[in-house]
Amino acid sequence: MNYYVYYKVDAARLPALRLSVDQLFKAVNVKFSIEGRWMRRRDDPSTYMEVYEGVTDGKAFESFLEREGARLGVPRKVECFISSETLA
C-alpha cells in the first residue's frame, strides 16, 4: 500500500514545518522501515505531499500517521492506493 498525505502550508511556516516533517520521517523509518518523501506541487507552492510507499500494516500505519501527523499543526488529507493489479 502507498500513502499520500497532502496539505496547504503558509510560506512563513515552511522552515519549522520542514523540521517537523523530517522528525516524522525519522519516526516512520524507525517504526515501519519506510523512507518518506516530501514533495511540493509544481503549480502551487503552498501544497505539499508526504509519500509513503510499501506499507504492509495499514491499520498500524494509519493510526501512527493520525497521531504523529497531528503534531504538524496543519489539516491533512490522507489517501491510500494499492496496485491496480490487486483484486478488490
Which phi and psi (to 5°) does residue 70 adopt? -60, -25
- The secondary structure element, H or E, covering residue 50 is strand 47-53
Distance, in Å, from the CA atom of 6 to the CA atom of 19, rounded to the nearest integer, reads 17
Supply the Cα-derived Rg of the chain in whole angstroms.
Answer: 13
Q: What is the pTM of this model?
A: 0.91
According to DSSP, the β-strands at 2-8 and 47-53 are antiparallel
Condensed to tens digits (0 to 9), the pLDDT of residues 16-73 reads: 999 999 999 999 999 999 999 999 999 999 999 999 999 999 999 999 999 999 999 9
Quick one: pLDDT band at residue 85, thresholds 50, 70, 90?
confident
Domains of the chain by start residue, with CATH: 2-81 (3.30.70.100)
Burial of 38 (C-beta count, 10 Å sphere; 0-12/13-18/19+): middle
